[in-house]
Copies of this chain bind each other. A is one copy, B any other.
Amino acid sequence: MSRGRNDWPGVVLVHTEKQPHVREASPVTEQPIWAGIANDLREKIDGGEYAAGDTLPSEDDLAAIYGVSRNTIRTALEKLTQQGLLDRGQGRRGRQVRKHKPILFHGMLSESPERLEQRRAAGMDAWRADVADQGHDGRASITVAIEEAAPEIARRLKLEAREAVVVRRRIRTVDGELHNSADTYYPHWLAGGTAIEHPADIRQGTIALLCELGYPQLRFRDELTTRMPVPGEDAKLAIPPGVPVLVQYRTGYSNNDLPIKVAVTIWPGDRAGLVYEDKP
């Protein structure tokens, strides 16, 4: 299929002033026009000409300023949005320079026995205690389900494919705003019939509960990857365009390297980071 050759035009263009659709060669730079505009805007944002929270000129205005069509401006703005510099805006709001939210770091290793005792007494899990330490209020909503293990879960729990698991899904908020999600999977042969199956908070903590059942968590292994949010994830955690997520798989092991749980935590890149220390 040939394209745009005007072989049989159903629409006839009648010109008045100048040839439409005739592009002049970009003179200096070797890059597309939209890339040049994106870089220019980036410099103005970095240089403070457009500060965090400022509203950019409208697409029409930018088109006039740079002397290009609105679609070209849109390509440039889209690129900056994908790079996480701009927020989208509907209505009369306009596009705004994204605020650089301070990133919360969560210590993930090396907790002193005293602190452990302390927060357990307060009924807080490690995450909530970490958030509280930084002066914020962490909350979680929990749902529980019994499912067939997905391959990446079954493999880590050393289960057969499609074997039953109990999963506790948490959506966690900090100061009322969505923050991360954490889904913890337990083998059904282990967690079935225990308090883990109930969506209420487990006061002593699931680790202590498993210990009472004869399966102390002796060590764990964290696997970290990064990727773009999958469809649905972005809505569930309100992840803006151009923000990747940190995916943390934490597998807990008991005696004889027996896996007793896998926790899958999704950390949106614009609001969380992780810290690992090898000594307290």
Q: By DSSP majority rule, is chain A's interface helix, strand, loop, or mixed?
A: mixed
Q: Is A223 an interface residue (CB 8 A)?
A: yes
Counted per complex, copies of this chain come to 2
The contact of A224 among B13, B61, B243, B275, by CB within 8 Å, is: B275
Which residues from chain B contact A94 at a C-beta distance below 8 Å? none
User: Are A64 and B12 closer than 8 Å at their CB atoms?
Assistant: no
Which segment of A126-134, A154-162, A226-234 sits at the interface? A226-234
Give 1 or 0 for each of A37-57: 1 = CB within 8 Å of chain B CB.
Answer: 001001000000000000000
The contact of A246 among B3, B15, B246, by CB within 8 Å, is: B246
Q: Is A5 an interface residue (CB 8 A)?
A: no
Give 1 or 0 for each of A82-125: 1 = CB within 8 Å of chain B CB.
Answer: 11100000000000000000010100110000000000000000
A15 nearest CB neighbor, chain B only: B11
Q: How far is the CB of A174 from chain B (nearest CB, A)?
A: 17
User: Are A244 and B226 closer than 8 Å at their CB atoms?
Assistant: yes
Q: Is A14 an interface residue (CB 8 A)?
A: yes
The contact of A245 among B13, B82, B226, by CB within 8 Å, is: B226
The contact of A244 among B70, B230, B269, by CB within 8 Å, is: B269
Which segment of A142-150, A183-191, A214-222 sits at the interface? A214-222
Within the assembled complex, what's the spacing in Å between the Cα atoms of A203 and B270?
Answer: 39
Q: How far is the CB of A40 from chain B (nearest CB, A)?
A: 13
User: Are B276 and A84 closer than 8 Å at their CB atoms?
Assistant: no
A253 nearest CB neighbor, chain B only: B279
Within the assembled complex, what's the spacing in Å between the Cα atoms of A225 and B218?
Answer: 27
Q: How far is the CB of A272 from chain B (nearest CB, A)?
A: 8
Which residues from chain B contact A17 at a C-beta distance below 8 Å? 10
User: Are A109 and B246 closer than 8 Å at their CB atoms?
Assistant: no
Which residues from chain B contact A16 at a C-beta distance below 8 Å? 10-11
Which residues from chain B contact A105 at a C-beta distance below 8 Å? 223
Which residues from chain B contact A221 at a C-beta distance below 8 Å? 275-277
